[in-house]
Amino acid sequence: MGLNEFEFMLNEEFLTEFEYSPIEYCKVEVDLKLFKTESMFDLKFDFKGVARVACDTCAEDIDLPVSEKFGLIMKLSEANNFDDSELIYIARTEIEFDLKQYLYESLLLSLPQKKNCDNLPEPKPCNQEVLSRLNQIETEDIEDSADEKEQNAADPRWDKLKNLLN
């Protein structure tokens, strides 16, 4: 009963248990405060560290900072019930509960939706070759779009059809 504190590390060894993980490497320290009562466990997780992911813009591997807090309540009941994401009912006969999936999902949720080099300190690890090719493609698309508008505006057949409506 009472407060228990734990510290552990999420790293690449932890990630190997999750096939097709978008995170290749992480070094995230987790501070867990577990408050235990007679009928429930109140878990407070504090994540701090870095996770390596591919940049959405230039595809370069970048280390994004991770700093997030999560909570989970586990109540003792007659049977297991995992339908709620923040409240888990576990049978009183359970001796241990595996939190790996919850920790993994929490780690993924701690990352921003758009993963890019914008908020990283200088020098940015951007892949300049990829960025220059993307810029070239974007310029070509703009030119193609302008050419299409010019062609559509210059077609005299459409002008004759428009006159029919008047």
- The contacts of residue 94 (CB under 8 Å, 6+ apart) are 80
Q: Is residue 146's pLDDT more than 60?
A: no
Indicate the pTM of the whole model.
0.70
Distance CA 27, CA 69 (A): 16
Q: Is residue 46's pLDDT more than 60?
A: yes
Q: Is residue 26's pLDDT more than 90?
A: yes
Q: Would you list the domain boundaries of the chain?
A: 2-109, 128-165
Determine the average pLDDT of the residues in 37-55: 90
Strands 61-77 and 25-36: unpaired
Cβ contact 44:69 at 8 Å: yes
Q: Is residue 32's pLDDT more than 70?
A: yes
Distance CA 11, CA 18 (A): 12
Distance CA 18, CA 96 (A): 21
Cβ contact 28:10 at 8 Å: yes
Q: Is residue 29's pLDDT more than 90?
A: yes
Determine the average pLDDT of the residues in 75-87: 71
